[in-house]
């Protein structure tokens, strides 16, 4: 890493940490007075940030299985993002503290009319088992990420031909473990906000959103560094073009699974299923749904069809930033309408609490970005030249 690049990243890191800590302290102070909107907004920010390390780990394992220059160029940013997962485990502790404010199943008496829900709460949706499962998810994720990063350091040092095989042997089962973990975590942490509703494709929508988010973030970081050594040597127009194509593919995949869920529920037209979408199309939330369609699919689709946009680092970074911002909007649209006290984002009764929806992502995101940049600076911004050649052969 050049001295100039290191200095710039260090300045951004300090600013992110200071701003994040200050905003988070203000939010925590307000949360003492207004705990329910605080924890609801906190869960929105947590869902958004969780996708960065988990999606990055999944992309790393895909790259180890398939090869290609796209993953080789993004690998430093992806690995640095995975190493922030311990911070997300720390961020999860306030979610545990707010169980009673977030999850209706904490009050079994509210479901006296529903024997099936009472059985579900007794056997699965209860606080002790919820915490045990969360600990298991993080343990599995952290274990896989530990070996991915440890072997990456060894690969830089000794270039052992055995290490690529180790990566492949881990990545196959690792993707399966990540898929199972994200599936159950999505049900536990997000879908159970409305425990009487269920969708078999919900976890797929969450997982595809995480992949799109992590890929957009890695592209944003790489594109912003594309004109600086040593990244400039490898982030060629051809590689940037491929990154744009892949980002378009992830946006289309997310749109496909999200629309599939909507279409299946709309076609079934069952009251117990359509209620989830009814909450998200009423009382002002429908505008966010339209915005997601336009700015998370239509606009990136049009932009990323252009070779000039994809091969220009600035325009590619702007498109990635748009995709990343819409992932935060999607987290808000997914979680916000589940609130019983604040059914509308436009209601006069709750406008005092609206600032939390922006402030908590800034606060938590500032801390996360500071840790990410710290991890990014600990390792080279590009992997060794020999590895670039070997791993890039699949691209050729």
Model pLDDT, residue 7: 60
Whether pLDDT at 390 is above 90: no
Of 303, 352, 350, nearest in space to 326 by CA: 303
5 vs 87: CA distance, rounded Å: 25
Summarize the confidence of residues 326-337 as an average pLDDT: 93
What is the pLDDT, as a whole number, of residue 292? 93
In 3D, which of 241, 165, 178, 169 has the Cα closest to residue 206? 178
C-alpha closest to that of 187 among 108, 279, 143, 125: 125
Average pLDDT over every residue of 338-345? 56
pLDDT of residue 389: 45
CB 127, CB 99: distance < 8 Å: yes
More confident residue, 354 or 16: 16
Comparing 270 with 97, which gets the higher pLDDT?
Answer: 97
Closest by Cα among 92, 93, 106 to 46: 92
Q: Region 299-312: what's the mean pLDDT?
A: 95
Per-residue pLDDT band at 393 (split at 50, 70, 90):
very low
Q: Output the pLDDT for position 350.
A: 59
pLDDT at position 352: 65
Rounded CA gap, 370 and 74, in Å?
19
Over residues 291-301, the mean pLDDT reads: 95
Which range, of 81-85, 124-128, 352-356, averages the lowest pLDDT? 352-356
Cβ partners under 8 Å of residue 264, min gap 6: 201
342 band by pLDDT with thresholds 50, 70 and 90: very low
pLDDT at 122 (0 to 100) = 84
Q: How many CA atoms lie within 13 A of 190 on its CB side?
A: 29
Q: According to the model, what pLDDT value does residue 235 have?
A: 84
68 or 363, greater pLDDT: 363
Report, as an integer, the average pLDDT of 92-98.
96
The structure tokens listed for 221 are 């970081």
* Phi, psi of 279, rounded to the nearest 5 degrees: -65, -30
CA distance 291 to 282: 14
Give residue 109's pLDDT.
73
Distance CA 307, CA 309 (A): 5
Residue-averaged pLDDT of the chain: 88
Output the pTM of the full model.
0.92
Q: Choose the weakest-confidence range: 107-116, 176-185, 318-327, 361-370.
A: 107-116
Q: pLDDT digits over 149-176, tens only?
A: 999 888 877 767 788 889 999 999 999 9
């Amino acid at each position: 890493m050049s001295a100039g690049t290191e200095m710039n990243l260090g300045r951004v890191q300090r600013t992110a940490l200071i701003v994040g800590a200050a905003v988070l302290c203000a939010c925590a102070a307000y949360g003492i007075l207004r705990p329910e909107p605080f924890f609801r907004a906190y869960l929105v920010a947590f869902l958004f940030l969780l996708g960065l390390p988990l999606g990055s780990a999944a992309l790393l394992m895909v790259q180890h299985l398939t090869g290609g220059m796209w993953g080789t160029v993004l690998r430093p940013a992806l690995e640095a993002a995975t190493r922030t997962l311990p911070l997300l485990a720390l961020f999860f502790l306030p979610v545990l503290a707010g169980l009673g404010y977030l999850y209706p199943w904490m009050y079994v008496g509210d479901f006296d009319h529903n024997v099936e829900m009472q059985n579900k709460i007794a056997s699965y949706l209860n606080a002790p088992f919820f915490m045990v499962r969360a600990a298991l998810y993080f343990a599995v994720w952290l274990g896989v990420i530990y070996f991915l990063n440890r072997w990456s350091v060894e690969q830089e040092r000794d270039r052992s031909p055995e290490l690529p095989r180790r990566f492949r042997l881990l990545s196959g089962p690792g993707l399966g473990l990540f898929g199972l973990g994200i599936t159950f975590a999505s049900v536990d942490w997000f879908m159970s906000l409305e425990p009487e509703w269920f969708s078999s494709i919900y976890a797929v929508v969450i997982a595809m959103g995480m992949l799109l988010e992590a890929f957009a973030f890695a592209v944003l970081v790489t594109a912003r560094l594309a004109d600086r050594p040593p990244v400039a040597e490898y982030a060629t127009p051809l590689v940037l073009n491929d990154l744009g194509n892949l980002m378009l593919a992830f946006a289309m995949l997310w749109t496909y699974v999200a629309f599939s869920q909507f279409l299946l529920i709309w076609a079934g037209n069952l009251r117990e299923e359509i209620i989830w979408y009814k909450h998200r199309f009423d009382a002002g939330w429908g505008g966010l749904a339209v915005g997601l369609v336009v700015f998370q699919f239509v606009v990136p689709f049009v932009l990323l069809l252009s070779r000039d946009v994809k091969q220009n680092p600035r325009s590619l970074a702007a498109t990635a930033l748009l995709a990343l911002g819409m992932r935060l909007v999607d987290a808000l649209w997914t979680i916000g309408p589940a609130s019983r006290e604040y059914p509308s984002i436009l209601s006069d009764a709750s406008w005092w609490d609206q600032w939390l929806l922006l402030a908590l992502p800034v606060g938590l995101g500032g801390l996360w970005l500071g840790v990410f940049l710290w991890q990014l600076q600990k390792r080279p911004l590009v992997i060794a030249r020999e590895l670039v050649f070997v791993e890039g052969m699949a691209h050729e």
